[in-house]
Structure 1
Amino acid sequence: MLQTAYISIGSNVGDRRAHLQNAVQKLSTEIGRVLKVSAIYETPSWGFEGSEFYNACLCLGTELSPAEVMTKILEIEVSLGRVRNDKNGYQDRTIDIDIIFYENVIIDTELVKLPHPLAHERKFVMQPLCDIAPSKIHPTYKKTVSQLNEVIVLDGIEKSEEKLHNPNGKKDFSRFNYIAIEGNIGAGKTSLATKIAEDFNGKLILERFADNPFLPKFYEDNGRYAFPLEMSFLADRYQQISDDLSQLDLFKDFIVSDYDIFKSLIFAKVTLQNEEYKLYRKLFDIMYKEIPKPDLYVYLYQNTERLLRNIKKRGRDYEQKIPSEYLDKINNGYLEFIRTHKDLNVKIIDVSDLDFVANHNDYKKIVSEIHKVYL
């Protein structure tokens, strides 16, 4: 049975990126399938005076025991030029490889200690680990990686433009762990997310809007049902994203969803009264802080006329009376969100003249646009 292990790698000597890539390759060959690879972070040396490090984390699926993994790691370090001596303290090194977590195992032996006893204090471990496992709970401290990372202060840590290649990943989407497909009502986000998941071996997360009992009522009486509708959507989206992103699927290469939880705030701003929105915003901010953010945010833009045609075509009774002004406000809300969130990796694709469901060439155009995006 495959077990999940989280590994930290670092180098501050010579071609640091090459050393990390060689480590990823050997870990893949000798220990198990590489499921996820973080970005590279450049960080000051920790615990000694030395050159700056390149650090990254990866997730592996392995059949080896913790002791077997550790034995292999020591062999890999030697093969990649790691020289250990009797000198006390930390030193420069071509490669440094550590097991951070192995499932939820707690071990304290001479060979291996799990979870890693110092990882929770190290920004250069927790920051890249946040890229691939923000919701992973530390088996000793009972906090998520994201929560542990927030309390660590380290000046000078920077995300590098250099990338690591996942030797086990799908060629087209291996660099992404989580993609969110967004758009206005009727833009086609569910159709596109479904096709991408099917064609590129992605784990699909679809919004459960059909189960919301307030949605049909909202379109009949906006003022009465807006607040319970938005609150129920927020609770359900938070639970779904938290659960699905924390449950690793060893047989999928990435995750793709047909929504990002921030849409809750976009819609709430349009539908709620001022005092209701203020209360809603307080609750939203608490939840949003804990939710992993997508590596890529794809926004499908469609003009309002085309949206109305799509809405009419799919035939949901409760949507047929949606006014064009409402769709315009939602679109403006999305564009404002994109404009103000500079740290978001965004790709806006105009699909107003495309039919990617019926026309395969249109679908290929969209996929090609996504392929051009880099983290």
Structure 2
Amino acid sequence: MKIQRITYLSLGTNQGNKLENLQNAINLIADKVGDIQKVSSIYKTASWGFDSEDFFNICLKVTTYHPPEKLISILLNIETELGRKRKESKEYSDRNIDIDILLFDDEIIFSKTLTVPHPKMLERKFVLVPLTEIAGNTFHPIEKKQLSICLKNCKDSSKVSLINDKLKRPVPLSEKYNYIAIEGNIGAGKTSLSNMLSDEFNAKIVLERFADNPFLPKFYKDKERYAFPLEMSFLADRYQQLSDDLAQLDLFKNLIVSDYYIFKSLIFAQITLQKDEYLLYRKMFDLMYKEITKPDLYVYLYQNTDRLLQNIKKRGRDYEQNIEAAYLQKIHDGYKNFISTQQDLNVVIIDVSDIDFVNNPEDYDFIINKIKKA
């Protein structure tokens, strides 16, 4: 599990549409840096150190997994993406966006590319006023004083005016959802994505215990004989596991990510069971299904059949190697039918046939953004 760190950032702009500049920077920071916990009010100040248009300034409280050196690199890239062009001169100048790291936990950092706490933050009211608004009781790691006291001691006499306009704080994934279910065909990557999400957002993970099922290898050798005990054992195990783990939603209110949803039991049963077996199975399923908490978001990973077969071969489970394309298509059709009939389920379908979210960070970010915007 990654360790989250708290950083405070200062943002400023005095060119173009200032509100839009700040909001665009906030959105990119939320996408690329971490969860934004607090956004200060907007404050207007005269340009500091040179004559020009007034600045709009804000501060953010952000939780991030990135170390300081990586963080500053990301922030510089965000500035560039938003159109900032840095000049060789060290003199102050106009800028459409400026992002500075003020504090990083209680660390003191002196490196070639970064100094934390920001060496001039205590001299600038346009930094201290918005920062104190969201972190007044936080201690400056060098001064050993609360920031509210540092503001009172600041000798900067420049005027700082509050702006009535408000900026939107992007809602973090962990606040937006309590329970996310990742689904997909055999070999679609649902377990990989579930593990990555759990690691990224410090979420509790619920993984299907298929490896412990003694009927699974037997089923692939003799489907007709072992289909019913396999599906019944999976149903019982999924029901018990989800009932136990999802009960913690009310206790801790933390994010839970699972690599399956219990309805997959019915999808597979429709394919594998004889008619009379399925009717009996359906009675048991309906009783259990009413008791299971529905996910806040149901993510279906679609992969074409050729890619699924490649993935199955690559991961090398002996009992899966004889799975046929027609069987995978039946499973996909079952999921498709299920999704089309679930009007009260929040569903996002993501085609992962031509991407590699495990090894390509950009592909992973693409999926995260899909989930955030669902």
- Classify the TM-score, shorter chain: 0.5 to 0.7
| Equivalent-residue separation in structure 1 for 2:335 and 2:255 (angstroms) | 24
Deviations 1:168-224 (CA, angstroms, capped at 9, x unpaired):
x98233111100000000000000011001101111000000000000000000000
| Equivalent-residue separation in structure 2 for 1:288 and 1:194 (angstroms) | 25
Q: Give the corresponding residue for 2:57.
A: none
Deviations 1:293-318 (CA, angstroms, capped at 9, x unpaired):
10100000000000000000000000
| Equivalent-residue separation in structure 1 for 2:248 and 2:173 (angstroms) | 23
Whether the aligned pair in 2 keeps the contact of 1:203 and 1:252 (CA below 8 Å) is no
Whether the aligned pair in 2 keeps the contact of 1:300 and 1:350 (CA below 8 Å) is yes
Quick check: 362-371 or 250-259, which moved more? 250-259
Equivalent position SS for 2:285: helix
The residue identity in structure 2 corresponding to 1:297 is: Y
The residue identity in structure 1 corresponding to 2:188 is: A
Closer, same or farther: CA 287–310 of 1 in aligned 2, 3 Å: same
The yes-or-no answer on 1:330 pairing with 2:331 is yes
Q: Give the corresponding residue for 1:181.
A: 182
Whether the aligned pair in 2 keeps the contact of 1:203 and 1:249 (CA below 8 Å) is no
Deviations 1:260-287 (CA, angstroms, capped at 9, x unpaired):
0000000000000111001100110000
Give the number of aligned pairs.
206
| Equivalent-residue separation in structure 2 for 1:179 and 1:186 (angstroms) | 19
Q: Give the corresponding residue for 1:314.
A: 315
Q: State how 1:1-375 maps to structure 2 within 5 Å.
A: 171-248=172-249, 253-373=254-374
Equivalent position SS for 1:174: helix
Equivalent position SS for 1:347: strand
| Equivalent-residue separation in structure 2 for 1:295 and 1:252 (angstroms) | 13
Deviations 1:139-159 (CA, angstroms, capped at 9, x unpaired):
xxxxxxxxxxxxxxxxxxxxx
| Equivalent-residue separation in structure 2 for 1:323 and 1:194 (angstroms) | 27
Whether the aligned pair in 2 keeps the contact of 1:173 and 1:371 (CA below 8 Å) is no
| Equivalent-residue separation in structure 1 for 2:244 and 2:227 (angstroms) | 26
How far residue 248 of structure 1 moved from its aligned partner, in angstroms, is 4.7
The residue identity in structure 1 corresponding to 2:317 is: R
Closer, same or farther: CA 283–250 of 1 in aligned 2, 3 Å: closer
Whether the aligned pair in 1 keeps the contact of 2:305 and 2:328 (CA below 8 Å) is yes
Closer, same or farther: CA 360–247 of 1 in aligned 2, 3 Å: same
| Equivalent-residue separation in structure 2 for 1:289 and 1:324 (angstroms) | 33
| Equivalent-residue separation in structure 2 for 1:238 and 1:226 (angstroms) | 18
| Equivalent-residue separation in structure 2 for 1:219 and 1:325 (angstroms) | 14
How far residue 342 of structure 1 moved from its aligned partner, in angstroms, is 1.0
| Equivalent-residue separation in structure 1 for 2:328 and 2:244 (angstroms) | 30
* 5+ long unaligned stretches in structure 1: 1-166
Deviations 1:314-342 (CA, angstroms, capped at 9, x unpaired):
00000000010000000000000000111
Deviations 1:120-155 (CA, angstroms, capped at 9, x unpaired):
xxxxxxxxxxxxxxxxxxxxxxxxxxxxxxxxxxxx
How far residue 250 of structure 1 moved from its aligned partner, in angstroms, is 6.8
Whether the aligned pair in 1 keeps the contact of 2:178 and 2:253 (CA below 8 Å) is no
Equivalent position SS for 2:183: strand
Closer, same or farther: CA 170–245 of 1 in aligned 2, 3 Å: farther
TM-align CA RMSD: 1.7
| Equivalent-residue separation in structure 2 for 1:281 and 1:171 (angstroms) | 38
How far residue 247 of structure 1 moved from its aligned partner, in angstroms, is 2.7
Whether the aligned pair in 2 keeps the contact of 1:202 and 1:252 (CA below 8 Å) is no
| Equivalent-residue separation in structure 1 for 2:365 and 2:250 (angstroms) | 26
| Equivalent-residue separation in structure 1 for 2:173 and 2:264 (angstroms) | 27
Whether the aligned pair in 1 keeps the contact of 2:297 and 2:346 (CA below 8 Å) is yes
| Equivalent-residue separation in structure 2 for 1:250 and 1:350 (angstroms) | 34
Whether the aligned pair in 2 keeps the contact of 1:186 and 1:308 (CA below 8 Å) is yes
The residue identity in structure 1 corresponding to 2:362 is: N
Question: Normalized against structure 2, the TM-score is what?
Answer: 0.54
| Equivalent-residue separation in structure 1 for 2:290 and 2:180 (angstroms) | 18
Q: Give the corresponding residue for 1:36.
A: none
| Equivalent-residue separation in structure 2 for 1:293 and 1:330 (angstroms) | 21
